[in-house]
Amino acid sequence: MKILVTGGLGFIGTNFIRYWLNNHPTDQIINLDKITYAANPHNLDDLKSNYLFVQGDILDSVLLDQILPGCDLIVHFAAESHVDRSIDDPLLFVKTNVLGTYTLLSAAKKHGNIRFHHISTDEVFGSIPFGSNTEFSESTPYDPSSPYSASKASSDHFVRSFGKTYGLPITITNCSNNYGPYQYPEKLVPRMITNLIDHQKIPVYGQGENFRDWLYVTDHCSAIEAVITKGKIGETYCIGGLKETCRNIDLVNLVINLMGKSSDQIEFVADRPAHDNYAVSWQKINQDLGWQPKETLESGLRKTIDWYLNNESWWRQAKTEAEEFYKKLNNYQNLKK
């Protein structure tokens, strides 16, 4: 099988390409990535066979016409993925996540209705109220809160519309928060690990009461594999962790303990606007496709901490840039007050 992966130099895309070629060594992968700030161009330098990297934009339909002929499957990761950046620059999210996905869908249709798997997020469902024991599922109505989640919701709608209107063979996965190796250090888990390595405080938004459903990235990759190989065309599958929904403050304290640090390292800072809570039911993908996660939050965090401890050269420059972004964002929020 020949697969076009978009955004394969980002966090999940990199892990997915490694996972897929390990498990399907005779398949061929073309990785189309624009190399934005979130990508590391060297992530997959060691891949020698069955792998081709093309630098380019999913909005470039001429380029898509060149690389799509012969492809059997598109796995679409490419996106602007950071909620805080979407608050700062929403238009970029509309361009990449909405127009970019539309452009890719049109190209998939043009080149013979290529099977299209769209990677989406649980954030499209909005927020679970504090004190409620509910979970998002495939039947939860969309109610996005941030420009990021609104752009992902819109892209999901376009994907479904191409399935219904043009018969494009689509599937969608809506996954909870991922963590693991190769995650850009603007996101909470790598930000706190690298701050602790640097003896810096961990900024916790609000009082750390917001909660999420954490999933180790390789478990996300195996879920995508299950949907690609066994999923029903036209269907959506929600993906979540081992019932490990936890408050940010609990996650931060767990990482502090695993790294042998002290909770003095926590600093409570201004809250994110429209700050959501997430928890996901993965009953459907479990019952229909037999998928379940392997890592517990603790085992996954141990692997992640080890990876960041052993790969400082990978994250050092990115961390400087990420912290510059946060300084700018704080200034911006101050200006708005």
Q: Which is nearer to ligand NAD, 115 or 187 (CB)?
A: 187
In this structure, how many other beta carbons lie within 10 angstroms of the beta carbon of residue 112?
11
7 binds, among ligand TDX, ligand NAD, none (CB under 5 to 8 A by kind): ligand NAD
Q: Which is nearer to ligand TDX, 111 or 272 (CB)?
A: 272
**Residue 121: in which H helix or E strand, if any?**
strand 115-121
Rounded to the nearest angstrom, the gap between the alpha carbon of residue 102 and the centroid of all alpha carbons in its chain is 19
Pairing state of beta strands 246-247 and 211-212?
A: antiparallel
Within residues 9-38, the interface with ligand NAD by CB under 6 A covers 9-13, 32-36, 38
63 binds, among ligand TDX, ligand NAD, none (CB under 5 to 8 A by kind): none
The token pair that represents 81 in the structure block:
């993925």
98 binds, among ligand NAD, ligand TDX, none (CB under 5 to 8 A by kind): none
Report helix, strand or coil for 263.
Answer: helix
How many whole angstroms separate alpha carbon 127 and alpha carbon 143? Answer: 8
Q: Which is nearer to ligand TDX, 30 or 227 (CB)?
A: 227
| Contact indicator for 83, 151 with CB cutoff of 8 Å | no
Binder among 100, 144, 208, 293 for ligand NAD (CB under 6 A): 100
How many whole angstroms separate alpha carbon 37 and alpha carbon 189? Answer: 18
Binder among 115, 212, 261, 319 for ligand TDX (CB under 6 A): 212
The residues pairing with 74 across neighbouring beta strands, listed in sequence order, are: 4, 116
Query: Is position 276 an interface residue for ligand NAD (rule: CB under 6 A)?
Result: no
Q: How many CA atoms lie within 13 A of 219 on its CB side?
A: 28
DSSP tag of 136 = B
DSSP for 205-241, written as a single string:
ETTS--EE-EEEHHHHHHHHHHHHHHPPTT-EEEE--
Binding string, residues 50-89; x marks residues near ligand NAD by CB under 6 A: -------xxx-----------------xxx-x--------
What is the nearest approach in angstroms of ligand NAD to the Cβ of residue 261?
A: 24
Within residues 138-177, the interface with ligand NAD by CB under 6 A covers 152, 175, 177
* Residue 122 is among the residues annotated as catalytic for this protein: yes
* Residue 148 is among the residues annotated as catalytic for this protein: yes
248 binds, among ligand TDX, ligand NAD, none (CB under 5 to 8 A by kind): ligand TDX
Tell me which residues are annotated as active site: 122-123, 148
Please give the residue ranges that form the binding site for ligand TDX (CB under 6 A).
81-83, 121, 123, 177, 187-188, 191, 203-205, 210, 212, 248, 272
